[in-house]
Every structure is written in structure tokens, then in C-alpha cells.
Structure 1
Amino acid sequence: MTMTPLAWIVVMSFAGGLLSVAVASVLAFTARPTWVPVLISYAIGALLGAAFLEVLPHAIEAAESPEKAAMNVLAGIMLFFVLEKLVLWRHCHDEGCQGHEPHDHHGHGGHEHDHGRSGLLILIGDTFHNFVDGVLIAAAFVESTPLGIVTALAIIAHEIPQEVGDFVILLHSGYSKTRALVFNLLSSLATLVGGILAYVALSHMQSLVPVFLALAAASMIYVAVADLIPGLHKRTELRATAQQVLLIAAGIASIVLAHPLAESALG
């Protein structure tokens, strides 16, 4: 039985959200803190591999011209920069940030001082982020099923280390482990909502598909380069650098292998 694009969107959005939260909760509760940088390095490779080897080529192919696709990617990177600035500004406005150490949503900043407000902020931000992920997954599946699968896998890969950071923030904000798990699961449902709404919209406006594919590539590049890679620079020793390079390469390799596997699985 062949699944429709909508069925794929629902399955990958729902299962992906549950999987990333489940794995993140296990890691946050039981794993060593040193495991998180390993996950982040792998996620960087998965995001960059999916962006440059899968999503971006499709965005260029579907666009009116390569220049138009490139402009959409640049606009997307600027958009995500502004959105992140607004989130950081809102946090600093509420928390009274001092110096240059605003909270980062991957669990590297200090957040022991708050009284639940960082937890609320991260839930709001994560819900919006998950909604956008759903939109990007839908755009990829509308273009082609293999591209949708690869895009969803790359998004899941970067969601796991992010969710680990979110759990840590929620626990430091005074949430119990059960409440942190429940709120993260509810937040993950925004991916499903975003996917379904985007599918309905894109089904009636095919001309928007290249734009959303470019935004998907921009999102992956921005998250990898602006949010994740700077954290790796905190460890400059040769052994750590070699490990990071190998894990990033492993992330890229998994994307290279995922596309033919997805195509063969689909027959």
C-alpha cells in the first residue's frame, strides 16, 4: 500500500516528535553530560548534509532560476537571524541579562537563577520552532517522498540534542521530570500541526513550494552554523577537534546513505 504525502507528513511529524522527546528525556535523565556534544556534532553533519546535498538542489531545481533560489535562502537566513534576536531580546527583557551571556536554547548557558520563566520561554520558543519544522517537512514531502524522509531525519537528528538542552532548562526552572516530559511532548505536537496546515496550503499554492524548500535549507544552515558550531569551539584540543570532524562527517554520511535507502524502501 502506497502512502500519500499527507500520510507521510503525519507519520514523520508525529513519530519524529515523539522519538526526539523520548530519546532526549532518556539522555537528559541518565546520560553523561559529555554525550551531548557528541550528539550536537553529529546533528551538525546531518543538517549541513541535508541542506546542501538534498534540500538546496531541489530548491534550485524547482525555482524559476538558481539566482531566485539563492535569494530565498539568503532571505531565510536573515529571517531566522531576526527571529532568534527577538527571542533573545524577549528573554533579556524579562530576565534582565547582564553582559553578553544570554540564555542559549541548547543548554550551554547559565539558567539556575530563574523562577520558571526560562522554562516558559523555552516552551513557547520550542513550540514555534516545532511548528516551523512541520512546515519544512511538509514542503519537502510535497516535492518528493525521498526528500521528505531525508529532511525529516535531519530535523529529528538536531531536535534530540536541542530537546536535551530544553529538559535541562525546564528542570533548572523548577519543573518536575514528569511535567518537563509532558510539556515537551505537547510542544512536539506543533510539528504535526505545522505539517498538516502547510500541506493544505501548499496543495493549493504550488508556487510556494520552491520558497519553502529554500527556507528549509536556510533553517538547517542557520541552526548548524549559528547555533551549534559555536558551542564546539569551546573545546580546542586536537583530540576533541578530530572527534568533532569525524562525527560531523558521520552525520553527512548518514544523509548520503539515507536517500538511496529511502528510495529502495519505497520500491
Structure 2
Amino acid sequence: MSTLGWILLSCVAGGALSIAIAAAVAFRVEARWISTLVSYAVGALLGAVFLDIIPHLFENNAHPGATAGLLLAGILVFFVLEKALLWRHHHHHGGDDESEHGHGAHDHGRSGWMIVFGDSFHNFTDGVIIAGAFLADIRLGITTSLAIIAHEIPQEIGDFLILLHSGFSKKKALLLNLFSSLATVVGALLGYVMLYNARDWVPAMLALAAASMIYVAVADLIPGLHKKADLRETGMQILFILLGVGSIALVHELAGH
């Protein structure tokens, strides 16, 4: 299969799989599953970064210091971007927690549409990252795609719940999430066109991808896991983090590295 074929297959199949699983969970509103899925996503993201992307970046690297600096800069950039989004959100709502959390069913779908547009942009970025990973190495593309899918599932569950809470029907919520998932394909195609003829940019794209995945896992997902501190829940979190890492390691080995 061609590189472009792998990219499109990963985007389409991955998007369909993550939305199908997320819909199955969200429509049954089994909130207790979300923490487990988030734990698995943490392991998959960190596994992909430290077992595949970073080793690939530093393999035969003539400028390891510059690559490490780009990783650090990427983490700081994502911190600043998230701060800017949080500032804009609180400024828009006047910092009122009740307006942030309590108005969903009475906002005529406004919060739901905000989620759709935000998720579309996020999916577009994921598509560019997937394209860059496959252009660097097919095996790297596969593991990166799996890590992104693992992260997308709990995020999609949250998106579904917000859409339902915002007044959308289950059918419309599903269609809107399917529509936003198409942004992954658009981002992948654009990333492929841009990077195919400029392969010198691929390492920089991978470094930013690694920074993004580290930041999402450590700054966004792990703090949420700490909200459930009982021993049984902690044990389940550790188990599924290890399963996430293990699944990436297994793909790494099966792909023949």
C-alpha cells in the first residue's frame, strides 16, 4: 500500500472507530468508563512518544540539542495556547463557573456548536501529525495513529455528552461528530502535500507532535485522573496506563523494528 493509502486508511478507519466506541459509551452515559479510557489514552500517548517518535527523532541526528530544544519549545507553546484559550473562555463567561457548567441545556446549542468547531480544528491538526509520521516511517505512522485514536475516544465521549446536554438529538450529535472527523482527512491530505515535497520539515513536525502528545497526556489527562484517589480506582488507572504503553510496544514489535 502507498504512503498516502496508509494515511487515508488510518484517518478514516481511526475516526470511524473512535466515534463508534465513543457513541456506544456516551449514549449509555456510562461515565465510570471514561476514567479507564483516559488512563489507556495516557499510556498510549506516552508510549508512542517515548518508544517511537523520540527514538526516531534522535536516530542518526546530527543536531540533538536543536531537536531537544524544539521539543521543549513545543511544550511551552502548547502551554501558552491553552492559557490563551482558557483566558478567552473565562473572559467570555465573566469567570462564572455556573455559566460555564450550568447553562448547557438552555443555550440553544451554542456550547455544542463551539465543541464541534473546536473538535474540527483539533482533528485537522491530528491529520497533519499523522501525515508527517507516515512520511517519516510507516511503522511510526501506525503507532502514532493508534495513540491519537486512543486519545480521541475519551475526548469524543465528552463531546457527545456536551452535545446531548446542549439540546442536540442523539442522531444529530452523531452526524456532527462524523462531520468534524472529516477534518482529520483534510489535515492529512494537506500535510501530505506540504511535507512530501519538503521532507526536511518532517523532523520538526514530529518534534511538535511529540510535544503535543506529552503536553496532552501530562497537563490535560493525568490531572483528571488524580480526582479519583481511592486505591481500587488508582490500581485500575495504573493497569490501563500500562496497557496503553504495552499496546504501543506490541505494535512497535509487530511492525518489525
Q: Name the TM-score, length of structure 2 as normaliser.
A: 0.93
2:155 pairs with 1:157: no
Match of 2:70 in 1: 72
The alpha-carbon distance between structure 1 residues 136 and 102, as it changes in their structure 2 partners (threshold 3 A), is farther
State the Cα deviation string for residues 44-86 of structure 1 (Å, max 9, x = none).
Answer: 0000000111111112236542111111111211222222223
Aligned identity (percent) is 57
Q: Quick one: distance in 2 between partners of 1:62 and 1:178? A: 50
Is the CA contact 1:118–1:173 (under 8 Å) kept in the aligned structure 2? Answer: yes
Partner SS for 1:170:
helix
Q: 1:171-186 counterparts in 2 under 5 A?
A: 171-186=164-179
Q: Quick one: distance in 2 between partners of 1:111 and 1:35? A: 25
Residue 114 of structure 1: CA displacement? 5.4
Residue 111 of structure 1: CA displacement? 6.0
Select the residue among 98, 123, 132 that pairs with 2:125: 132
Select the residue among 218, 236, 239 that pairs with 1:246: 239
2:220 pairs with 1:227: yes
Is the CA contact 1:48–1:252 (under 8 Å) kept in the aligned structure 2? Answer: yes
- Which residues of structure 1 form unaligned runs of 5+? 104-108
Q: 1:103-118 counterparts in 2 under 5 A?
A: 112=104, 115=107, 116-118=109-111
Is the CA contact 1:88–1:102 (under 8 Å) kept in the aligned structure 2? Answer: no
Partner SS for 1:236:
coil
Residue 137 of structure 1: CA displacement? 0.5
2:165 pairs with 1:169: no
Is the CA contact 1:136–1:195 (under 8 Å) kept in the aligned structure 2? Answer: yes
The alpha-carbon distance between structure 1 residues 63 and 179, as it changes in their structure 2 partners (threshold 3 A), is farther
Match of 1:211 in 2: 204
Match of 1:201 in 2: 194
Amino acid at match of 2:220: D
Residue 95 of structure 1: CA displacement? 2.9
The alpha-carbon distance between structure 1 residues 77 and 113, as it changes in their structure 2 partners (threshold 3 A), is farther
- CA-atom RMSD, angstroms? 1.9
The alpha-carbon distance between structure 1 residues 110 and 260, as it changes in their structure 2 partners (threshold 3 A), is farther
Is the CA contact 2:93–2:99 (under 8 Å) kept in the aligned structure 1? Answer: no
Residue 31 of structure 1: CA displacement? 5.2
Q: Quick one: distance in 1 between partners of 2:99 and 2:239? A: 30
- Which residues of structure 2 form unaligned runs of 5+? none
